Amino acid sequence: MKATGAATASTHEQQVLRLARKRTLLRARDVTQHGLPTIALTRLVQAGKLERAGRGLYSLPDAPISEHRSLAEVSVRVPKGVICLLSALEVHEIGTQAPFEVWIAIPQHMVSPRLDRPAIRVVRMSDAALDDAVDHLKIDGVAVPVFNAARTVVDCFRFRNKIGLDVALEALREGWRLRKFALDDLWRQAQRGRVANVMRPYIEAITS
């Protein structure tokens, strides 16, 4: 019976490792959803075959890590969120912002996520706003939802009281210089975000 139990445990661990190879970042819930015991994760960590990447997150020791790994970790743990504002600017390589927190937009009535790490900064938006102008970028094997460049620049003006008008102006200027968005897309997002009048003089200044 002991040999059979050991063989079963080994099989479970091999199945968990196969999942880890497919997903890069593996959640404990992914393991249970496949009918596998989470004790297999503990054994694999003890054996050095998996590493803890965060609370409830695991990865292979030799898994490649990108500069945006923290965004993938947050997206896995906050599946209803969308990467926004300063973090989205960094992803799109617009401006000079290098936030130490991951900025993430979540539904208005959602309880704020509690993450030990990485640190997050929450912005609340309507469901309709969360579904608009979202790109899904592959980061460390995770499909990470990020607002596109035009939407991100407009959001910087919408939330200028949070991040500063200077940041919004830099995002607009650099985004346009680097051709990160089309002017029509920018105007469309500005109108939807109700900041067209605020942005108009700045847009006219950089496009004239």
Q: Are residues 125 and 30 in the same domain?
A: no
Domains identified in the chain, total number: 2
Task: For residue 129, tell me if it sits in a domain.
Answer: yes
Residues 156-175 pLDDT 10s:
999 999 999 999 999 999 99
What whole-number percentage of the chain has pLDDT above 70? Answer: 93
Q: Tell me the mean pLDDT in the region 89-102.
A: 94
Those residues whose C-beta lies under 8 Å from the C-beta of residue 30, and which sit 6 or more positions away, are 19, 23
Question: Mean pLDDT across the chain, nearest whole number?
Answer: 89
Confidence of residue 1 (pLDDT cuts 50, 70, 90): very low
Percent of the residues in the chain that have a pLDDT greater than 90, as a whole number: 56
Report the distance separating Cα 50 and Cα 162, nearest Å: 39
Same domain, 26 and 89: no
Residues 28 and 105 in one domain: no
Domain closes at, from 59, 79, 97: 59
Q: What is the pLDDT of residues 104-150, one digit of tens each?
A: 999 999 998 888 778 999 999 999 999 999 999 988 778 899 999 99
Q: Summarize pLDDT for 69-84 with one digit per residue, the tens.
A: 889 889 988 989 999 9
What sign for the dihedral angle of Cα 82, 87, 92, 94?
positive
In a domain, 64, yes or no: no
**Domain extent for 15:** 2-59
Q: Per-residue confidence at 2, pLDDT binned at 50, 70, 90?
A: very low
Is the pLDDT higher at 123 or at 16? 123
| Sheet of strand 82-83: strand arrangement | 120-125, 102-107, 82-83, 142-147, 134-139
Residues 7-33: what's their mean pLDDT? 80
* Residue 51 DSSP symbol: E
* Phi, psi dihedrals of residue 147, rounded to the nearest 5°: -60, 140
Q: What is the pTM of this model?
A: 0.76
Instruction: Name the domain boundary from 38, 59, 80.
Output: 59
What's the mean pLDDT in 91-114? Answer: 94
Report the pLDDT value the prediction gives residue 107, as an integer from 0 to 100.
Answer: 96
Residue 67 confidence class, pLDDT cut points 50, 70, 90: low
Q: Enter the tokens of residue 35.
A: 């009918």
State how far the Cα of 3 lies from the Cα of 8, in Å rounded to an integer. Answer: 9
Whether 132 and 37 share a structural domain = no
Q: Is the pLDDT of residue 43 over 60?
A: yes
Whether residues 54 and 85 fall in one domain: no
